[in-house]
Chain A
Amino acid sequence: MNAIDNKWIGRRTIRPDGADKVTGRAGYAADNSMPGMIWGKVLRSPHPHAMIRGINTARAEALPGVKAVVTAKDIVDFPLDKSVMLGIQDMRWMCRNVMAREKALFHGHPVAAVAATTEEIAAEACKLIEVEYEVLPHVIEIEDAIMADAPILHDFLRHEGKPSNIAATMVNKLGDVDAGFAEADIIIERSFKTRPVHQGYIEPHACTVSCTADGKATIWSSSQGQFMVRAMTSLLTGIPQSNIRAIPAEIGGGFGAKTIIYLEPLAVLLSKKSGRPVKMVMSREEVFRGTGPTSGSMSTVKIGAKKDGTIVAAQGTFYLQAGGLPGSPLRGPVGCSFAPYDIPNVLSVGYDVVSNRSKVAAYRAPGAPLGAYATECVMDELAEALKIDPLELRLKNTARPGTKAAYGVVFGSITFEDTVKAIRNHPHYSAPLDRAPAKGVVRGRGVASGFWFNAAGESSAQVNITEDGNVTVTTGHPDVGGSRASIANVTAELLGIEHKRISVLIGDTASIGFSNLTGGSRVTFASAMVVTQSTEKVIGQLKERAARIWKIDPEAVVWSDGAARPAGANAGQFPPLTLKDLAAKANEMGGPIGAGIQLTTVGADPGFATHVVGVEVDVELGIVRVLRYTAAQDVGRALHPDYVEGQIQGGVVQGIGWALAEEYLFDKQGRLDNASFLDYRMPVCSDVPMIEPVVLEIPNPKHPQGVRGAGEAPIVPPLAAISNAVHDALGKRFYSLPMSPPKVLAALDG
């Protein structure tokens, strides 16, 4: 561990936005309202797959109270033959996702939207819209969608020269896997399946939009990036970005899913047509049916090793559900699965498969858990077959600085083995295990590791000294889980002042420079970097002011403990000038004090995690419960330990849900059958134990505070760790998630 002598960084300070959030005052998207506001509602397709032959909105428009109706013809079309990318999103698919164009691609796909004076009238009007559908055969599951005779969703998609539901292929290659497997003493190859799972944020998508007669639009919405909201809305409505102001509401959870938009362009068009502010709020059912879960998957992983455990080759094939339009997170499993290990020969291939489901959206380390599930379960079998401790097998093959990963990167400073050792040395790993505590109950323990790339990218910050000598910091990132608190700590540390003197705000698109999404585990990394650079500029200004007052060289001034002090030959010559002193003299000594930085940050080294979990299985009912969970992760530097721990604890519990209970279930008509929090079973408080984070702080040398992204890596290992623990308990392996009670019992019988 590094020597830590910080005063504020690493402290568990109270978050700047906390009081508003515990008193109910914080403004989330659905909490906003405006004078003269009307309500928008979406009409959704009742068919999972149908051509749209015509839409007649006349009866809806005639209903008293209805102020506007929009359909796909009001949305900017992005023709199929030319890709237009916004970040990782292809606008050809986004324009068809927010509103079905030629065809409805899933049950719940928007086909029209209405704005009316009340929600009830808007809902009533939706029923009056006549849509002429030509119903087509639908396909839901990957294995059906890739069959030769499957209904084809998009005739422009070709795979191996033929019309196909395989929209894309991604290949990562290193060395020669055939030669590698030929050298192996042992090869284990297994196939796995997972079901789509939803991000499950508690706040449904919502926005309020006001378009004025001069063509300007103001959007209040909950997202993981107000600049994404502005850019995507601009592309879909044709309104230039300079005429759109996107104001970030507090966000009630996103986990990746709010890195795209659904309602905003519809609300803009409705507001434009009606001349009234429009509010739209999804119901929970709409969230489940109409927004993206992450992909379900079908994977095969093959690993070959020498008798001593040295891995010589690894191959992975990953089929991922994209939903009705292309774009599953192939990079997750293809790139992350084997990344923790130094393997000379790797072939990792991913296929993006469309089917009649809602289009997938990002979910915490998109796709990586699917790959790690397969790989880390095969690693467990390999360790078992070789009679090597599973953590020792990982240590033997750990990637190190200089290792080339199949996804193309040569690692710099990486700390995978530190996470493995942290678990190996943790009392949980060596605690006695009572394997059969009662009749019909067995227990087991499992481990798994995980990798996530971590992102950097564009961020902006502005640090201003107020006239009374306090500080405001503005960044461009919605705060999903305490990032303001981290930023307050960093600024307080650099300025050497009391944390409470700093106010941290999230700017809207008109008040702060471009900032990329809150996602990719990038916000604390990137915003701490731009805030640090901005604050350093401010300190430079403060030192200059002091030098001017003292009539000495600015180089001869230091900033420490919240004040400018003469240094070197002048040390002790003048009493220190505090932030308040300098702020009071700001105008006479050169004007307002403040600085901003807009930067494409770099240096986000990858994140690694290793977990150990203890489970208990009721063998008569097939119920698996997690009894104890310990998660080790290198976070570089925990600017605010509580919120780093919180990321780990939250990510793990989402992983527990994924492993044991959560899944999208479809009926024979292609309709989601469990579109509610009652039947989409996310873990409740009584389902889980305390989650112990083991936070390793090995500074990232490329970051001013040593930060490494922390938010996503924790969801990568749990699927495999829990599967391995269930195997340890039962002596049986499961190759399909979730390990729900009927499945567990059937496997025990069979």
Chain B
Amino acid sequence: MTDIRYLAPRTLDEAVGAFAASQGAARILAGGTDLLVQMRNGAVRPGTIIDIKKITELTSIEEAADGGFRIGAAVSGAALAEHPRFGRVWPGVLEAVNLIGSTQVQGRASPGGNLCNASPAGDSVPALVAAGAVVTVQGPKGRRQVAVEAVPAGPGRTNLGPGEIVVSFTLPPRPEGSGDAYLRMTPRTEMDIAVVGVGVSLTLRDGVVAAARVGLGAVAPTVLLVADAARALIGSRLDEAAVHAAAAACRAACNPIDDKRGTIAYRTRVAGVLLQRAVAIAAERAGRV
């Protein structure tokens, strides 16, 4: 007989209340694709499991009048893929969310869980960073908004306060001429953890990059926003020099480790390669001929 409690609150206030009351002994259950594995191997042993999937705000997708999107933190990748519009506006984000695990895992895994698991290799995070997504967080002290890239603190650690729950991601309205892409390197075609992941979002105006953001995963303790790479692209016509400069900025931003999934040298080099490839795809999606 275990002494673990399972709660499935219907409101966010209840969830936040229970989470705060647990004083760190509770874990939030969204898709569970990381949590159940960690419970099984003994890495975590929560006193209470708080299932947030009965809370409408956390499981819904809304398209705002201005064209922005709000994605509930516990929306599964499969549900996001079924949204009639989201994948057309943010194909890179959708691809990234649906690179998390197999078809089976996509039926469960959520962007909120991927962010809070705080793996540097989480696939959805670089794409959401590139997208400029803002995270809505609710805790005992109320609601706040924070940039995606500000959430991870290090491997397995976040900057969320005690009792705080990630509620949703807000993606900004998409100007004409925008496109995004996410690419990762894995040895297998599927069912793998990113050795490097790169998200790119671009807005082109008359062939010139008006806005750009680059997110980089699995090459540092947290997913990175690579401002230098974006700066190298902005104002350019994505000529070879600009793209090479952006790739170099990605390589320079890398601070990886040697581990079972890749080496420092490999990760650093591949970050540049993927940046170039992701830029090409994003530019094409942005309508560059």
A and B in direct contact, judged by CB atoms within 8 A: yes
Q: Does B63 contact A (CB under 8 A)?
A: no
Does chain A have a CB within 8 A of B189? yes
Any A CB within 8 A of the CB of B270: yes
Answer whether residue B172 sits at the interface, using C-beta atoms and an 8 A cutoff: no
- For B193, the chain A residues whose CB sits under 8 A away are 678-679
In the complex, per-residue mask of B61-99: 1 if CB is within 8 Å of any chain A CB, else 0: 000000000000000000000000000000000000000
Determine whether the beta carbon of A684 is less than 8 Å from that of B189.
yes
Query: What residues of B have a CB within 8 angstroms of the CB of A661 in the complex?
Result: 187-188
- Give chain B's interface secondary structure class: loop
B260 and A687 form a contact (CB under 8 A): no
Q: Are A687 and B189 in contact (CB under 8 A)?
A: yes
8 Å CB contacts to A: which residues of B173-202? 185, 187-193, 195
Q: A120-B2, A285-B41 are known contacts. Are A742 and B189 too (CB-CB below 8 A)?
A: no
Given the interface contacts A621-B273, A674-B260, does A687 sit within 8 Å of B266 by beta carbon?
no
| Chain B contacts for A684, CB-based, 8 A | 188-191
Mask of A674-694 contacts with B, CB within 8 angstroms, 1/0: 100011010110110000000
**Does B107 touch A at the CB level, under 8 Å?**
no
Q: Which of A622, A673, A681, A686 contacts B266 (CB 8 A)?
A: A622
What is the bound-complex CA distance between A545 and B265, given in angstroms?
80
Cβ of B17 under 8 Å from chain A: no
A4 interface residue per 8 A CB criterion: no
| Chain B residues in 8 Å Cβ range of A623 | 185, 187
Question: Of all chain B residues, which has the CB nearest A677?
Answer: B191
Are the CB atoms of B191 and A678 closer together than 8 Å? yes
List the A residue with the shortest CB-CB distance to B42: A123
Residue of B nearest to A665 (CB): B260
Interface residues of A in 686-730 (CB under 8 A from B): 686-687
Q: Which of B1-18 contact A (CB under 8 A)?
A: 2
**B187 A686 Cβ-Cβ under 8 A:** no
Decide if A681 touches B187 in the complex (CB within 8 Å): yes
Contact with B along A606-622 (1 / 0, CB 8 A): 00000000000000111
Chain B CB within 8 A of A746 CB: yes
Flag whether A741 is at the interface (Cβ < 8 A). Answer: yes
What total count of A-B pairs have CB within 8 Å? 53
Residues from 255 to 281 in B contacting A, C-beta threshold 8 Å: 260-263, 265-266, 269-270, 273
Find B273's partner among A285, A620, A674 (CB 8 Å cutoff).
A620
Given the known interface contacts A285-B41, A674-B260, the answer about A681 and B265 at a Cβ–Cβ threshold of 8 Å is: no
Distance to closest chain B CB from A192 (angstroms): 21
Interface string of A260-287 (1 = CB under 8 A from B): 0000000000000000000000000100
Please determine whether B187 and A741 come into contact, CB atoms closer than 8 angstroms: yes
B189 and A686 within 8 A (CB): yes
Q: Are B191 and A741 in contact (CB under 8 A)?
A: no
> Contacts of A441 on B, CB cut-off 8 Å?
none
Interchain CA distance A686-B263 in the complex, whole Å: 25
Q: A661-B187, A681-B188, A684-B188 are in contact. Are A742 and B263 (CB under 8 A)?
A: yes
A438 to chain B, nearest CB (A): 12
- List B contacts of A741 (CB < 8 A): 185, 187, 195, 262, 266
Q: Please, which residues of chain B bring their CB within 8 A of the CB of A740?
A: 187
Query: Are the C-beta atoms of B260 and A745 separated by less than 8 Å?
Result: no
Number of A residues near B (Cβ < 8 Å) is 24
- Please, how many angstroms separate the alpha-carbon atoms of A647 and B2 in the complex? 45
B276 closest partner in A (C-beta): A620
A537 vs B160: C-alpha distance in the bound complex, in angstroms? 78
The proximity string for A residues 282-322 relative to B, scoring 1 for CB distances below 8 Å and 0 otherwise, is: 00010000000000000000000000000000000000000
Q: How far is the CA of A661 from the CA of B270 in the complex (A)?
A: 18
B108 CB, min distance to chain A CBs, angstroms: 16
A-side contacts of B187, CB under 8 Å: 623, 660-661, 681, 740-741
Q: What is the CA–CA distance of A622 and B269 in the complex, to the nearest angstrom?
A: 11
Interface residues of A in 638-672 (CB under 8 A from B): 660-661, 665
Q: How far is it, in angstroms, between the C-alpha of A238 and the C-alpha of B269 when the chains are bound?
A: 60
Whether B188 pairs with A673 at a CB distance below 8 angstroms is: no
Find chain A residues with CB under 8 A from B41 CB: 285
CA distance in complex: A745, B189 (Å): 18
Closest chain B CB from A121 CB (angstroms): 10
Q: Closest Cβ of chain B: how far from A567's Cβ, in Å?
A: 62
Q: Mark A119-132, 1 if CB is under 8 A from B, else 0.
A: 01000000000000
B188: chain A residues within 8 A (beta carbon): 661, 681, 683-684, 686-687
Question: Would you give the shortest CB distance from B165 to chain A, in whole angstroms?
Answer: 27
Chain B residue nearest in CB terms to A741: B187
From 89 to 140 in chain B, residues with beta carbon under 8 angstroms from any chain A beta carbon are none
Q: How far is the CB of A681 from chain B (nearest CB, A)?
A: 5
Query: CA separation between A318 and B192, bound complex, in Å?
Result: 33
Write the nearest CB–CB distance from B138 to chain A, whole angstroms.
32
Question: B266 — which chain A residues lie within 8 A by C-beta?
Answer: 622, 741-742, 745-746
A621 pairs with B260, CB closer than 8 A? no
Residues on the B chain within 8 Å of A120, using CB: 2
Q: Which residues between 489 and 539 of chain A lie within 8 Å of chain B, taking CB atoms? A: none
A46 to B233, CA, bound (A): 51
A441 to chain B, nearest CB (A): 12
- Within the complex, which residue of B185, B192, B263, B273 is in contact with A678, where a contact is CB–CB below 8 Å? B192
State the CA gap A622–B196 with chains docked (Å): 13
In the bound complex, CA of A673 to CA of B259 (Å): 9
Residue of B nearest to A742 (CB): B266
Q: Are B191 and A746 in touch, CB under 8 angstroms?
A: no
Which chain B positions have C-beta within 8 A of A687?
A: 188-190
Q: How far is the CA of A399 from the CA of B193 in the complex (A)?
A: 46
Nearest opposing residue in chain A for B269, CB measure = A745
Tell me, rounded to whole Å, the shortest Cβ–Cβ distance linking B145 to chain A: 34
Known A285-B41, A746-B266; judge A621-B185 contact (CB<8 A). yes
Show the binding face of B for A, using Cβ within 8 Å: 2, 41, 185, 187-193, 195, 260-263, 265-266, 269-270, 273
Known: A621-B185, A745-B266, A745-B270. 19 other contacts (CB 8 A): A120-B2, A285-B41, A622-B266, A623-B185, A623-B187, A661-B187, A665-B260, A673-B260, A674-B260, A678-B193, A681-B187, A684-B188, A684-B189, A686-B188, A687-B188, A741-B185, A741-B187, A741-B262, A742-B265
Contacts A/B (CB < 8 Å), 26 sampled = A120-B2, A620-B270, A620-B273, A621-B185, A621-B270, A623-B187, A625-B189, A660-B187, A674-B260, A678-B191, A678-B192, A678-B193, A679-B193, A679-B260, A681-B187, A684-B189, A684-B191, A686-B188, A686-B189, A687-B189, A742-B262, A742-B265, A745-B269, A745-B270, A746-B265, A746-B266
Chain A residues close to B by CB (< 8 Å):
120, 285, 620-623, 625, 660-661, 665, 673-674, 678-679, 681, 683-684, 686-687, 740-742, 745-746
The 6 nearest A-B residue pairs measured at CB: A742-B266, A686-B189, A620-B273, A742-B263, A665-B260, A673-B260
